[in-house]
Structure 1
């Protein structure tokens, strides 16, 4: 008799103090969790798309900057090489007539 009354008290206590043990409450709880999960999943997909777009644009920006910097460096080196070419090959040709002019006058 004591065991039966104990189980009855436990059953009433479960229903009273732990309403999640009720199947309707459990279904509502799971439905709420499912809705929250789906909302979070939707938000996560949206954020994932936003992060992907941000990273893609940032990567394109960085690659563009690197490309432009490399292009600038290449053009600068070409211009420096051309300047070196001008200095080494045109200046002697310019200085020879000047020296000839100096000799003549």
Structure 2
């Protein structure tokens, strides 16, 4: 299990050959007797095109997701306590 995890972690750094390496990793992971890992590999196979893109392309939307997460956090903290102008002020200054 540890070897499979380390090999998968190496794929998380985007590179051109990662799509082929992912296919061999899935095959070797399914050959093991680890049911939870089988469920993970089935999930990868269901959306293989998106997983291949994530592992091969250098583009991502992490900064956008970070801003969305921060905005939702501030909104949850202020729920029922203040008006929209204060929420806007906290988002713009935070």
TM-score, structure 2 as length reference: 0.29
Bigger relative CO (Cα 8 Å, ≥ 6 apart): 2
Q: Which has the higher helix share?
A: 1
